[in-house]
Amino acid sequence: MQFHLNGFKPGDPDISEPAEHAAGPRADALPGEVDILIVGSGPTGLTLATQLAAFPDLKTCIVEQKPGPLRLGQADGIACRTVEMFEAFDFSQRVLKEAYWVNETSFWKPDDTQRDRIVRSGRIQDTEDGLSEFPHVILNQARVHDFYLDVMRNAPSRLEPHYARRLLDLAVAESPAGGAPTHPVTARFERTDPGHEGQVETVRARFAVGCDGAHSAVRKSLGRALHGESANQAWGVMDVLAVTDFPDIRIKSAIHSASEGSVLIIPREGGYLVRLYIELDKLNENERVASRQITSDRLIAAAQRILRPYTLDVKEVAWWSVYEIGQRLCDKFDDVPEQEEHARLPRVFIAGDACHTHSPKAGQGMNVSMQDGFNLGWKLAAVLRGQSTPQILHTYSKERQTVAKELIDFDREFAKMFSAAPKDPSRDDSEGIDPAEFQRYFVKQGRFTAGTETRYYPSVISAEPTHQELARGFVIGMRFHSAPVIRLADAKPMHLGHTVKADGRWRVFAFADAADPAAPSSAIGELCRFLAESTHSPIRKYTPAGADADAVIDVRAVFQQGHRALALEAMPALLQPRKGRHGLIDYEKMFCPDLKSGPDIFDLRGIDRRRGCVVIVRPDQYVAHVLPLDAHAELAGFFDGFMVEAV
């Protein structure tokens, strides 16, 4: 973390100076005009809002129907990839300190000789080695909200949700003959808080995003709908404090009984609380789960039957619910029909449960939804700040709908296998699933559930893999897979990926060849000269006058030599930029392999040692391009494809 750039400032460095429009006390009423209107303050809306709050020149408004912040959340699973994202927002350590870490998963099946009893059939590592520097964890959704809200309050925008507002309607103005309106989106809200009931407020926005859940009013205003089917299977879920002799109560456990159904056990944070997903009866065609009048006592009784011969004495139920398994997807995640994309730009977007729903057992819903917000946030900011062409906004629906479709396909198969009865090995004609097969499927899909298999296909901001062989471990379209390094200036061990913060900047990582990087003819030196001096340099073209050299594109270098073998003062000037009002030198742009504590990053990520390479990383931590060090024209051409020349 860097601070004191523009003068010494005591106190908490996480608290930024407020933007001019956020310096005074916040008005109770909604603002009349904003740049971005966010409807809904669930995890999707808060991810988006937290990203946008970092930009003091943008006016963002987030509106929530509930009367106040969430106190007890339903979602709890946090994938490895999501913790990587939390690191970009600087609260990953708070999550890791408080959360339950899912280290292993156990599998239970009916005893072959006593089918009314369960026995452990296997136990595996939950996440494969090297998949991420962060674990899979469990934490109440409300606490995730708290962390986002803290970052928002301390950001330059001092952003906080406006609660107790119900969206009445939302409309997008047609472009008049004289040109498009500056704030074409109009939304009306009805206040529901005491003393203001029935008051209607109107907000005009340049863009709007519906993060308002499965029954999204924003989605309905666009005339879009969720399409899919239900599996006619009811499940109960409950968070309990219980006394039990089941030995794996503090390990994630998938349990299949012979005839009583299945249970998924998810230990919760705090050492005592546990979540139970409990299979209930099949629903009839077109039957709703509400008609069954299911009680918490019924859920407990079902769990007790499934766990036999073990006992379960529930002392307290913190929360419980029932749900139907169903997978539904919206045909598009913005307001522009596909056939009109060449002529229109999207003004309204939907994200999270507003455009995709699925069962909660795989623990993907909150994670995929937050990634929706992260994907969209930096794109909106780049367009509004005049850094990128508006055409990049079309990539949001294309990229995230593909991910949502993959999730729904996985969830359908996972739910089917989990609900299937286990095979009886004593009967050749027994139907159902082989417990060993279920365990193999779980292992096979481990990368998907960790969130690390997301891949964005070629577009204006994601290149073709023409030079992928130069960095086989940094796959174009997939997340930038962090690895340990040593910072050259101060010998600090750290993770390279943790330098990619949620600040809207692009990163250019230059992995040097084996030559001396201080040599005038080195490839890294030539690259730095091109970026610093050429009229074709994207840094020179797209960085506003008077801004720091890394304000838009942040260039960092990773050398092959050990950190004690290089002379800091001999490195290219571009990698030691002068910044801020005092012209202070930034010493945090150069790194070396961590040869002391682990594998060399060049080996870990399959980087060509002879040639080196350039890895371009998007603001949302996804690899956009891999290029040779000397491919200066290709590097410039990539950014020329979507960026707007600075004034």
DSSP letter string, 522-573: -HHHHHHHHHHH-TT-HHHHHSPTTS-TTSSEEEEEE-SS-GGGS-GGGS-G
The answer to whether the CB of 245 falls within 8 A of the CB of 74 is: no
Residue 614 identity: V
Q: For residues 350 and 333, what is the distance between their CA atoms, to the nearest angstrom?
A: 5
The answer to whether the CB of 204 falls within 8 A of the CB of 33 is: yes
Backbone phi, psi, residue 628, to 5°? -65, 155
The answer to whether the CB of 65 falls within 8 A of the CB of 164 is: yes
Residues 6+ apart with CB under 8 A from 176: none
Residue 356 in tokens: 């995709």
Q: Which residues are tagged catalytic?
A: 76, 268, 277, 360
Backbone phi, psi, residue 47, to 5°? -60, -45
Label residue 315 exposed, middle or buried (CB < 10 Å: 0-12, 13-18, 19+).
exposed
3-state secondary structure 376-398: HHHHHHHHHCCCECHHHHHHHHH
Cis peptide before 599 (omega within 30 of 0): no
Regarding beta strands 553-558 and 506-511, do their DSSP bridges make them parallel or antiparallel, or are they unpaired?
parallel
Please name the residue ranges forming H helices in 185-261. Answer: 217-221
Residue 253 in tokens: 């456990």
Regarding beta strands 590-593 and 484-487, do their DSSP bridges make them parallel or antiparallel, or are they unpaired?
antiparallel
Residue 376: left if φ>0, alpha if ψ -120 to 50, beta else—which one?
A: alpha
Residue 271 identity: G
Please name the residue ranges forming H helices in 385-474. Answer: 394-419, 435-444, 446-449
Please name the residue ranges forming H helices in 135-280. Answer: 141-154, 217-221
Residue 452: left if φ>0, alpha if ψ -120 to 50, beta else—which one?
A: alpha
Task: Tell me the residue length of the chain.
Answer: 647
Cα separations in angstroms, 445 against 41, 152, 328, 362, 630: 30, 34, 21, 10, 39
Closest CA to 278 of 259, 258, 301: 301
Q: For residues 448 and 356, what is the distance between their CA atoms, to the nearest angstrom?
A: 17
Q: For residues 335 and 324, what is the distance between their CA atoms, to the nearest angstrom?
A: 29
Quote helix, strand, coil % in the chain, to nearest 5.
Answer: 30, 25, 45
